[in-house]
Amino acid sequence: MTTTPDSHDPRVDPPHAASEFETLIGFLDYHRDTLMLKVDGLSPAQLQATHPPSTLTLGGLMAHLALVEDNWSGEVLLGADPVEPWASADWDGDSDWEMTTAAGKSVQQLQAQYAESRSRSDAVLRGLAASPTALDTLSARPSRRTGELFSLRWVILHLIEEYARHNGHADLIRESVDGVTGE
C-alpha cells in the first residue's frame, strides 16, 4: 500500500530574527512537526516496519520522542517523578521499552501519547522562559555522567539534536516503507 503524506505542509519555518528562546523553540517545533509529517497517513503495519538491519520503527520513534519530551522537561528540568506510562515501565526488563511496546499500540494511541508529552513539555519550556535570563535556568536534576546541572538552553538544544537525528532515521524508514521522501 503506497501512501502519500498530506500535500499541505503544516510546518512553520523557524523565525529569522527573534529572541534566542523563540528561535530555539521555532527550530524545536519545526523538527517536532517534521516527525509528524514522516508518520502522516501510515497504517499500523507501516508504523511498525523496519529498515534492516535496524529494528527501529516509526511507531517506536514516536514513542521514544514522547519519552524524551517527558524526561527532559519534567524529570530533568523540574525534578518531577516520571508520568505514565514511563513510571510503571519495565526498564530493567527492556531498556528500549518505549520502542518495543509501540508495536502493540494503535496509530491513535501513539499520536495521543506523543501529543500529550509534547504539550506537557511545551508547558514546562514556555513556563520557564518568563524571565530575561530564562535560558540560564538550571535543571533540578544533574547529569548522570558529570553531576553537572543542565541549563534550559542546553536542554532545548539537546531536544533539537534528538529530533534532527531521529528525523534522519525516519526519512530512511519512511522511504523503505512506501517510497515517500521529503524534508
7 falls in which pLDDT band (50, 70, 90)? low
CA angle 7, 41, 173 (to 5 degrees): 100
DSSP characters over 98-130: HHHGGGGS-HHHHHHHHHHHHHHHHHHHHHHTT
Preceding peptide of 85 cis, ω within 30°: yes
Best CA proximity match to 156, nearest among 24, 49, 34, 54: 24
Instruction: Count the residues in the chain.
Output: 183
Cell of residue 168, nine digits: 534522519
Cell of residue 151, nine digits: 541549563
Reply yes or no on whether the pLDDT at 92 is more than 80: yes
CA distance 76 to 73: 6
Best CA proximity match to 169, nearest among 73, 79, 39, 23: 39
Do the Cβ atoms of 46 and 177 come closer than 8 Å?
yes
Reply yes or no on whether the pLDDT at 6 is more than 70: no
pTM, 2 dp: 0.92
The residue-averaged pLDDT of 130-154 equals 94
Reply yes or no on whether the pLDDT at 63 is more than 80: yes
Do the Cβ atoms of 72 and 158 come closer than 8 Å?
yes
181 falls in which pLDDT band (50, 70, 90)? confident
CA distance 79 to 19: 27
Q: Is 140 helix (H, G, I), strand (E, B) or coil?
A: strand
